[in-house]
A and B are shown apart, each in its own frame.
Chain A
Amino acid sequence: MRLNVKHVTRYSFDTPARGLVQTHKLIPSTCGSQNILSWTVTTGDAIRGAAFRDSAGDMVETISVRGPVDELVIEVIGEVETVDLFGVLRNYRETVPPTTYLRRTRMIRPDTALRELSAAALEGLDGDSALNRAHALARAVNEAIEYVPGATEEMTTAAEALAGGKGVCQDHTHALIAVAHAADIPARYVAGYLHSGEDAMGEASHAWAELYVQGLGWVGFDASNRCCPDERYIRLCSGYDAQDAAPIRGIMNAGVKEHLDVSVAVMSQYQQ
């Protein structure tokens, strides 16, 4: 499927900021399921530099804007050819040992309830394939946390989302990572785009988890939609959790009130 992405992020400040610095992971890498046909990131008159490909295979770039600055617009426009590999990450260049993704951060630390959910999901599956066990965990998370926008916040942890029983794709992903870790399965957070059509949960800007499945390698699981990423998905970048995988991380001077406006559209060629 040929997908077109337009992702515009607009920061505006009530009082001009004295300057700002951001680190971006806004350029998807080519892998078996996606071929990047064209991709441009524009950042107004920000100074760009210090770009590198990190050990997880993501392009990282830091931008800075000298103040005073009252607005910054980041525009991503790209075209990607995708194929359905049933979520399996193939032909992807990275050097991080998978067991590194057993690291527990505040967002994904399993509490008793998450450990119990993990154990219950895997009950009786000891002899089953690693892939089936991963599917069981994703299903359990989907059933335990209902997709309800607005019930959680950016800093809500996996444990809190499970306790509340409601959340969005970020919460599903954190919870899936946590239950995977509880079963000693390496797992990580993936940020990306989804061509959602009508029936899929989540917005065009989406998140899912990748679990390390023995024999297959990294495999994506979208607990929000109870599926593995297919040709509707574009994989952007990854990390331990939402914060580590954030496509845009920024700092600005304290006391500046920031307004954030994000619009993302993913369209297939047939819709254009």
Chain B
Amino acid sequence: MLNGAEVRAAYESLERWHKSMPDDLRSLKQSEAENLFKRVGITFAVYGEGGDPERLIPFDMFPRVFTNSEWRKLDRGIRQRAAALNAFLADVYDRGEIIKAGRIPEHLITKNAAFEKAAIGFRPPRNIYSHIVGIDLVRTGADQFFVLEDNCRTPSGVSYMLQNREVMMRMFPQLFVENRIAPVDGYARLLKKTLASVAPLKCDSEPTVVILTPGQFNSAYYEHSYLADLMGVELVEGQDLFVEGDFVWMKTTEGPKKVDVIYRRLDDDFIDPLCFRPDSMLGVPGLMSVYRSGGVNICSCPGAGVADDKAIYTYVPEMIRFYLGEAPILENVPTWQCAKNDDYKYVLEHLSELVVKEVHGSGGYGMLVGPASDKSTIELFRQKIIENPGNYIAQPTLSLSACPTFVDAGIAPRHVDLRPYCLVGETIELVPGGLTRVAMTEGSLVVNSSQGGGVKDTWVLAE
């Protein structure tokens, strides 16, 4: 628990709240919460981590609290980062000034699997590539936050942010009377506004926005349908759309309807079998031609992933200085790149102290947590790094902040991270809060749901 009068007051009220809650009421509320989650069908793994899609993610009822002044700094830092990442994408798909200036090595971009040849030399509407930027943060001190990674493609988990709040408000309405908590339910309206604001120039009326899902077998299908419902837009699969002439059309009972903005929740590789993977049955044949000729917008734009690669991550502070001429507000975790000779040597000598990650990995898989690993695991990783140094980066283990969390014995500190969702369109929007993930095991630093992590409501106190 952190200092500051506001947060102390909030946590005091939460202290009274949990102390006055008898054990049987607590377990009753816990099962009530689980039933609410089950009933709405929210069972998918966060952030596309795989695992059992029907498994319920543990929900911790103890909210995480940010003061208004803490949030103001995060808010500025997140917006700054989202703006710089978009400026970077607009640059690398155009003139590549940052490469010419020698600030980022060319091969990290052009040889990157997420760099799309098909996106070069084309300006998407408003020159924005990543419209929903998920930035994963951890806190290490009262006023110190580190960015763990950026997610510029289609970050998931926002439905948890919304549902966690809804469930808390239903179960503990009194808490929301006693505390002035900034609302998050404006997210869907802002998302729709953001998507509509990046309709292509050829769209001369109210833009038609759709969400393109891989289908009901996708682990995040619930989120896709939930967001479509909240925004009042159609949820479609590839087979519901077709290309004819200069536009993309949606099949409806009243005949074809032109689609202007596609919020796609499937990877670049799958969106158009005539441009990318020919065996994809999930996409829309010809979509890229319509996109490139300005008949439709795709959010995020194909190729946006080149900005959130773990090897590119190291250069985000440089992007902020280069494009915005500002000092980075949020810090990066110091990162050693095994592709660099000096870093490679350092990493091999300090494996037992470091966290080693695959450049393209996600979800806590293919990761070494040095201090928590035995010798044989470390040696296995050493071999992997020696075989393919370019595939690995390493970071120090941070002393993550912990938040009060319900455990069997009552309340105990558990490590948490935070993913806010920043929306980039005509304006940059950010709802106060985000998704807090919590490592439910004592001492664990891994918050991924595939590794037993849970979620909790995230409060930003109003002024």
Which chain A residues have a beta carbon within 8 Å of chain B's beta carbons? 19, 21-23, 47-52, 54-56, 60-62, 64, 66, 95-97, 99-100, 102-103, 240, 243, 249-251
Mark each residue of chain B from 239 to 255: 1 if its CB lies under 8 Å from any CB of chain A, else 0: 00011111100000000
Let me know if B275 is at the binding interface, CB within 8 A: yes
Evaluate contact between B120 and A96: CB separation under 8 angstroms: yes
Chain A residue numbers with a CB within 8 Å of B122 are 55
Let me know if B39 is at the binding interface, CB within 8 A: no
Mark each residue of chain B from 105 to 140: 1 if its CB lies under 8 Å from any CB of chain A, else 0: 011001101010111111000000000000000000
Binds A, one of B288-296, B319-327, B407-415: B288-296
Known interface pairs A21-B243, A56-B117, A61-B289; A50-B295 also in contact (CB < 8 Å): yes
Evaluate contact between B292 and A54: CB separation under 8 angstroms: yes
Residue picked from A22, A52, A60, A96, most chain B C-beta under 10 Å: A52
Q: Nearest Cβ in chain A — how far from B118, in angstroms?
A: 7
Q: Nearest Cβ in chain A — how far from B247, in angstroms?
A: 8
Chain B residue numbers with a CB within 8 Å of A61 are 289
Let me know if B96 is at the binding interface, CB within 8 A: yes
Q: How far is the CA of A51 from the CA of B286 in the complex (A)?
A: 11
Q: How far is the CA of A55 from the CA of B117 in the complex (A)?
A: 7
Evaluate contact between B285 and A50: CB separation under 8 angstroms: no
Residue from the list A48, A52, A55, A240 in contact with B245, Cβ < 8 A: A48
Q: Is the interface of A mostly helix, strand, loop or mixed?
A: strand
Q: List 25 A-B contacts (CB under 8 A).
A: A23-B288, A47-B245, A49-B247, A50-B245, A50-B246, A50-B286, A50-B292, A50-B295, A51-B289, A51-B293, A52-B292, A55-B117, A55-B121, A56-B117, A60-B292, A62-B290, A64-B244, A64-B286, A97-B106, A100-B120, A102-B110, A103-B113, A249-B278, A250-B274, A251-B285
Chain B residue numbers with a CB within 8 Å of A56 are 117
Closest to B245 in A: A49
Evaluate contact between B110 and A97: CB separation under 8 angstroms: yes
Chain B residue numbers with a CB within 8 Å of A249 are 274, 278
Let me know if B273 is at the binding interface, CB within 8 A: yes
Chain A residue numbers with a CB within 8 Å of B246 are 49-50
Q: Nearest Cβ in chain B — how far from A97, in angstroms?
A: 5
Chain A residue numbers with a CB within 8 Å of B292 are 50, 52, 54, 60
Q: How far is the CA of A110 from the CA of B45 in the complex (A)?
A: 36
Q: How far is the CA of A54 from the CA of B117 in the complex (A)?
A: 9
Evaluate contact between A62 and B243: CB separation under 8 angstroms: yes
Residue from the list B119, B273, B288 in contact with A251, Cβ < 8 A: B273
Known interface pairs A21-B286, A50-B286; A100-B117 also in contact (CB < 8 Å): yes
Closest to A22 in B: B274
Closest to B284 in A: A21
List B154-208 residues whose CB lies under 8 Å from chain A: none
Q: How far is the CA of A60 from the CA of B293 in the complex (A)?
A: 10
Q: How far is the CA of A55 from the CA of B110 in the complex (A)?
A: 14
Q: Is the interface of B mostly helix, strand, loop or mixed?
A: loop
Q: How far is the CA of A250 from the CA of B272 in the complex (A)?
A: 11
Q: How far is the CA of A22 from the CA of B293 in the complex (A)?
A: 16
Given contacts A47-B245, A60-B292, 5 further A-B pairs with CB under 8 A are A49-B293, A55-B120, A55-B121, A62-B274, A243-B278
Q: Nearest Cβ in chain B — how far from A246, in angstroms?
A: 9
Chain B residue numbers with a CB within 8 Å of A60 are 289, 292
Q: How far is the CA of A62 from the CA of B96 in the complex (A)?
A: 29
Evaluate contact between B274 and A50: CB separation under 8 angstroms: no
Q: How far is the CA of A52 from the CA of B123 in the complex (A)?
A: 13
Which chain B residues have a beta carbon within 8 Å of chain A's beta carbons? 96, 106-107, 110-111, 113, 115, 117-122, 242-247, 273-275, 278, 285-286, 288-290, 292-293, 295
Known interface pairs A52-B292, A251-B274; A99-B111 also in contact (CB < 8 Å): yes
Cβ-closest 5 pairs across A and B: A55-B120, A49-B245, A62-B289, A50-B289, A23-B274
Evaluate contact between A99 and B106: CB separation under 8 angstroms: yes
Chain B residue numbers with a CB within 8 Å of A102 are 110-111
Evaluate contact between A21 and B96: CB separation under 8 angstroms: no
Chain A residue numbers with a CB within 8 Å of B285 are 21, 23, 251
Evaluate contact between B243 and A100: CB separation under 8 angstroms: no
Residue from the list B115, B242, B295 in contact with A21, Cβ < 8 A: B242
Residue from the list B111, B117, B243, B273 in contact with A64, Cβ < 8 A: B243
Residue picked from B243, B244, B292, B295, most chain A C-beta under 10 Å: B244
Q: How far is the CA of A60 from the CA of B290 in the complex (A)?
A: 10
Q: How far is the CA of A38 from the CA of B118 in the complex (A)?
A: 27
Chain B residue numbers with a CB within 8 Å of A21 are 242-243, 274, 285-286
Q: Nearest Cβ in chain B — how far from A54, in angstroms?
A: 7
Q: Nearest Cβ in chain B — how far from A23, in angstroms?
A: 4
Closest to A99 in B: B110
Evaluate contact between B244 and A49: CB separation under 8 angstroms: yes
Q: How far is the CA of A25 from the CA of B446 in the complex (A)?
A: 49
Evaluate contact between A23 and B275: CB separation under 8 angstroms: yes
Q: How far is the CA of A52 from the CA of B202 in the complex (A)?
A: 15
Evaluate contact between A95 and B273: CB separation under 8 angstroms: no
Q: How far is the CA of A266 from the CA of B117 in the complex (A)?
A: 31
Q: Nearest Cβ in chain B — how far from A95, in angstroms?
A: 4
Q: Nearest Cβ in chain B — how far from A11, in angstroms?
A: 15
Chain A residue numbers with a CB within 8 Å of B293 are 49-52
Q: How far is the CA of A49 from the CA of B242 in the complex (A)?
A: 13
Q: How far is the CA of A250 from the CA of B273 in the complex (A)?
A: 9
Residue from the list A22, A47, A51, A96 in contact with B117, Cβ < 8 A: A96
Q: How far is the CA of A142 from the CA of B273 in the complex (A)?
A: 32
Evaluate contact between B110 and A100: CB separation under 8 angstroms: yes
Evaluate contact between A99 and B107: CB separation under 8 angstroms: yes
Chain A residue numbers with a CB within 8 Å of B290 are 49-50, 62
Chain B residue numbers with a CB within 8 Å of A99 are 106-107, 110-111
Chain A residue numbers with a CB within 8 Å of B242 are 19, 21, 64
Q: How far is the CA of A22 from the CA of B272 in the complex (A)?
A: 11
Closest to B286 in A: A62
Q: How far is the CA of A19 from the CA of B122 in the complex (A)?
A: 29
Closest to B92 in A: A97
Residue from the list B96, B113, B118, B274 in contact with A54, Cβ < 8 A: B118
Q: How far is the CA of A166 from the CA of B275 in the complex (A)?
A: 29
Chain A residue numbers with a CB within 8 Å of B118 are 54-55
Chain A residue numbers with a CB within 8 Å of B288 are 23
Chain A residue numbers with a CB within 8 Å of B106 are 97, 99
Closest to B272 in A: A23
Q: Nearest Cβ in chain A — how far from B330, in angstroms?
A: 30
Q: How far is the CA of A49 from the CA of B245 in the complex (A)?
A: 4
Chain A residue numbers with a CB within 8 Å of B247 are 49-50
Q: How far is the CA of A176 from the CA of B72 in the complex (A)?
A: 56
Q: How far is the CA of A21 from the CA of B115 in the complex (A)?
A: 26
Q: How far is the CA of A267 from the CA of B117 in the complex (A)?
A: 34
